Structure 1
Amino acid sequence: MKRRFATIAFGTALLSLSACTTVGPDYVAPPAPAGLDTKPATDFEAVSQTKQLTAEPMPHDWWKLYHDPVLDGLVEEAIAANTNLREAAANLERARAITSEAQAAAGVQTSLSGQAGVGETSNYGLGNPAGVHDTFSLGGSISYELDVVGRIRRSIDAATASQEAQLAAYDLARITVVAHVVGAYTDACSAGASLNVAQHSAKLQSQSLALTERGVKGGVFPRINAVKSRGLLSQIEATLPRYQAQRRLALYRLAVLTGKAPQDFPAQLATCATIPSLDRPIPAGDGTALIRRRPDIRQAERQLKAATEQIGIQTAALYPSVSLGASAGTTSRTIEGLVSDSALHFSLGPLISWTFPNTKVARARIAQAQASAKASLAHFDGTVLTALQEAESALTQYARDLEENAALHQTQKDSAEALQLENRMTRHGLSSNLELLDAQRSLVSADMALATSNAKLAGDRVTIFLALGGGWEQDD
């Protein structure tokens, strides 16, 4: 009885110790790198450079700023069927199961066993009969590991942080897929718009060539005028296959993004020629909001927490592992004998395991965990700075492209006016047909450059929304 009392008292003491001891560093969220957390929230530099950007907060469903029901439907299809999202969802499901496993390990563990067999036994020199006998056994056990130094709690916290990092990865996948859907849709319609411009220019140039060829036949124009006019028409027609291919490839991407075969893109988009645009400035927010919103930053921060918890898990190996348990069972050569008192056996008491004094392996693993935590911190800092750089770059590029687009608009307007004047002067004999041809060539170049610029601006807007991380914030 004294021995039993001592065993129970020892177990109670260990239980009390486990309630107040946790080894390893406690996680503290890191400050923003480069002293950003000490600076007041400021607008992005490009916001003050153009009226097409504003510091207003970015909306949750930013793609609805286009007011395009077709685009809204495509986004919904992608969210429901995209293969990358399905993979990310499965990874998140696995992370949740790992967390559940860690939590379950903290509770009471039970097991039941039963066995029936035939075997040869020895009399062990005790005079008992030896030979082949039937053997039957039943047993059960119950155990509970005391979290003496917080290893279990650290494991649960690490698994939870990894799960939250996977959730952020899933949010990042959704944002990326939505941006790619909007981008593919924009690229298809932009290619269609450029194709229309090229076809219109080819039509006008074909009419001009017909007039020039009549003039050559009538002896009004030299033959070189018709040759140059035909060369300009060929130059314009050479761009048509490129735009047709660009639209088709964008439609293939769009179909796959929505979980379909490449050729199963929406039929109505095969003739799309209107570039998606906004009727208001882009709401860019500020850098502080960006850090809170971007899921890759949230993912890096949660990965840092998981790495920090690993230090405590590995440090726990320096200390004893203690479990309280009990087991009971019965063994007999007959089924009837399983219920006899002589067949019963039981045990009760703590189980202690400790690698002391051989701690070199444990300390090496602690050093590995500490190095991993340092790497995770560096990755977090780099992710924050990269996110800010991507946003600033995308906004600045958009501001500069807007200036270029405005200049190209003016160029196109001037080229159209110059062609009208050349037409008038040519009819009155004040200008040659070659000068008219040069004016036509200038207008074609201006039209094509403006179409390319319009497509570039459409792509810039998608890049901005992706860089700003709009879509699913942490609260969702």
Structure 2
Amino acid sequence: MNIRMWGISLFMFLSTVSAVGQTANCYLKAPLPDEWEESGQVFQQTLPVDDYWWKSFRDTKLDSLITLAVDRNFSVAMAINRISAARANLWMERSNFFPSVGLNAGWTREETSGNISAAPQSTEHYYGASLSMSWEVDVFGSIRKRVKAQKENFAASKEEYTGVMISMAAEVASAYINLREFQQQLEVVKKNVASQEEVLKITEVRYNTGLVAKLDVAQAKSVLYSTRASIPQLEAGINQYITTLAVLLGMYPQEIRPVLETVGILPDYMEPIGVGMPVDLLLRRPDVRSAERNVNAQAALLGASKADWLPKVFLKGSFGYAARDLKDLVKSKSMTYEIAPALSWTIFSGGQLVNATRLAKVQLDETINQFNQTVLTAVQETDNAMNAYRNSIKQIVALREVRNQGVETLKLSLELYKQGLSPFQNVLDAQRSLLSYENQLVQAEGSSLLQLITLYKALGGGWRE
């Protein structure tokens, strides 16, 4: 299959569009991107993981949180409700295939005036019971096309549900990664605080023995207090993501806080990612499939609006009994019936049918444009996510080396300071640099995981009912 051609031919709705007078000129003609290849070991040209991509992080707590969100998340519940509503609309439209049958029964008494005609005043009464039936014979397919539109809407609602599930899993995973990132940054700060307290003790000893000026002690304290001052902001960030996870799980924060406050590590994940082919992307993403269904539905409605120009055929009838006395009601002589085939054809409606068809055409064009925009957005999101994830891996590799050198620099500068061979400023610079390097590394690791989550979301993978 030529991956440089748009995947229009892959979608069944083209036949529907052409059937109502549309052409492929409405669709994007530009080629899809080349295969998303990376010369290194970051990406592979295989289909992305179909199910439960988050399990590759090997974090059982994250697995449990997503499982809980599936059962309790209100966005998922609303998506399920939309499926139920679409199913009800489908069955309502299908009911037009069948005749409507009614039962009528009652007793009638009437008295006529003797002063409006030559006939004398009279009183009549009788009992009656009958079944009536009305049936529109779908000769020109108006009902069939509207049923098809509702079928496509129902299918689109299921695709939207899948999209909600993918987004929900990505949101839970992202909030969880952000929480762990803040916790790890807090651990880095606490570790550096402990290190800086040791350095402060060294400067105090050297000051008390007259080896250095009090300036060294003051500088050591300023670095220590500055590091401690970052702790409240990190604790606020931790609380923020705990509450975010609580909302995603449909819970109050106090219900889940004890579980999440325990410090956890960031998943260590730098394995190759299967990105598949560009055409596979179009076939996988729920928003693209939903947009396809919407085009199908609107094309069917356009066909139905054209069918409304043609005559409608109805078959009506009734069968029952009527008699003066109740005891004679079901006798054969009391039987009544009526058969009334009818044809209804609107010759003039003040432009209503014309404008209804115009509206349907405009709405079809709009859904086609929405489909094209969805495809472009899918390609954009995937390209951006792949580029961001690729560069985040490179950044982590570089920052790990920088962190290692920062540890070595602090160790050497402190040893030289103890021996009186180096000024205390070198130790201060090494402390500040090491704290910065370690924070940057934690942030880069968290950002890389977030980019990976975004990539899985962009690839349309990660959920299957």
Whether these two folds match at TM > 0.5 is yes
Cα drift, residue 306 of structure 1: 0.7
Asked if 1:357 is matched to 2:345, the reply is: no
Structure 1 residue ranges without an equivalent (≥5): 1-21
230, 246, 253: which one aligns with 1:255? 246
Alpha-carbon separation, structure 1, partners of 2:110 and 2:462: 67
Closer, same or farther in 2 for the Cα pair 1:252/1:31, shift >3 Å? farther
Partner-residue secondary structure (3-state), 1:265: helix
Check the 8 A contact 2:47/2:276 in 1, yes or no: yes
Alpha-carbon separation, structure 2, partners of 1:457 and 1:394: 10
Cα drift, residue 218 of structure 1: 3.5
The letter for the 2-side match of 1:59 is V
17, 31, 52: which one aligns with 2:42? 52
Alpha-carbon separation, structure 1, partners of 2:355 and 2:121: 54
Asked if 1:127 is matched to 2:119, the reply is: yes
1:244 aligned residue: 235
Partner-residue secondary structure (3-state), 2:341: strand
The within-5 A match list for 1:89-104 is 89-104=80-95
Cα distance per residue 1:53-77 (max 9 Å; x no partner): 2222111121121222222222222
1:368 aligned residue: 359
Closer, same or farther in 2 for the Cα pair 1:471/1:434, shift >3 Å? closer
The within-5 A match list for 1:34-49 is 34-35=28-29, 42-44=34-36, 47-48=37-38
2:66 aligned residue: 75
- Which is further off, 149-158 or 182-191? 182-191
Cα drift, residue 410 of structure 1: 2.1
Cα distance per residue 1:405-447 (max 9 Å; x no partner): 2222222122211112211211222101122111111111111
Partner-residue secondary structure (3-state), 1:318: coil
Asked if 1:108 is matched to 2:99, the reply is: yes
The letter for the 1-side match of 2:92 is E
Asked if 1:160 is matched to 2:154, the reply is: no
1:294 aligned residue: 285
Check the 8 A contact 2:87/2:154 in 1, yes or no: yes
Cα distance per residue 1:362-420 (max 9 Å; x no partner): 01010000000000000000001101100110110111222222222222122211112
The within-5 A match list for 1:18-33 is 25-26=19-20, 33=27
Asked if 1:335 is matched to 2:329, the reply is: no
Check the 8 A contact 1:49/1:399 in 2, yes or no: no
Check the 8 A contact 1:23/1:312 in 2, yes or no: no
Partner-residue secondary structure (3-state), 2:308: helix
Alpha-carbon separation, structure 1, partners of 2:362 and 2:28: 21
The letter for the 1-side match of 2:29 is G
138, 144, 153: which one aligns with 2:135? 144
Cα drift, residue 87 of structure 1: 0.9
Alpha-carbon separation, structure 2, partners of 1:23 and 1:283: 34
Cα distance per residue 1:286-323 (max 9 Å; x no partner): 21111100000001110111111111111122111111
Q: What's the TM-score, normalizing by structure 2?
A: 0.88
Alpha-carbon separation, structure 2, partners of 1:91 and 1:369: 23
Alpha-carbon separation, structure 2, partners of 1:466 and 1:80: 20
Alpha-carbon separation, structure 2, partners of 1:105 and 1:238: 71
CA RMSD of aligned residues (A): 2.7
The letter for the 2-side match of 1:127 is A
The letter for the 2-side match of 1:150 is G
Cα distance per residue 1:200-250 (max 9 Å; x no partner): 111111221232233334433222322222221222122222222222222
Check the 8 A contact 1:24/1:311 in 2, yes or no: no
Alpha-carbon separation, structure 1, partners of 2:301 and 2:164: 26
1:386 aligned residue: 377
The letter for the 1-side match of 2:296 is K
Alpha-carbon separation, structure 2, partners of 1:152 and 1:413: 72
Cα drift, residue 174 of structure 1: 0.8
- Which is further off, 106-115 or 453-462? 106-115
184, 192, 206: which one aligns with 1:193? 184
Alpha-carbon separation, structure 2, partners of 1:24 and 1:422: 76
Alpha-carbon separation, structure 2, partners of 1:337 and 1:143: 28
Partner-residue secondary structure (3-state), 2:363: helix
Q: What's the TM-score, normalizing by structure 1?
A: 0.86
The letter for the 2-side match of 1:146 is V
1:13 aligned residue: none
Check the 8 A contact 1:165/1:298 in 2, yes or no: yes
What is the total number of aligned residue pairs between the two structures?
A: 448
The within-5 A match list for 1:171-186 is 171-186=162-177
435, 441, 447: which one aligns with 2:432? 441
Cα drift, residue 107 of structure 1: 2.1
Matched residues, percent identical?
Answer: 27
Alpha-carbon separation, structure 2, partners of 1:418 and 1:32: 63
Check the 8 A contact 2:173/2:453 in 1, yes or no: yes
Check the 8 A contact 2:93/2:146 in 1, yes or no: yes
Alpha-carbon separation, structure 2, partners of 1:260 and 1:168: 26
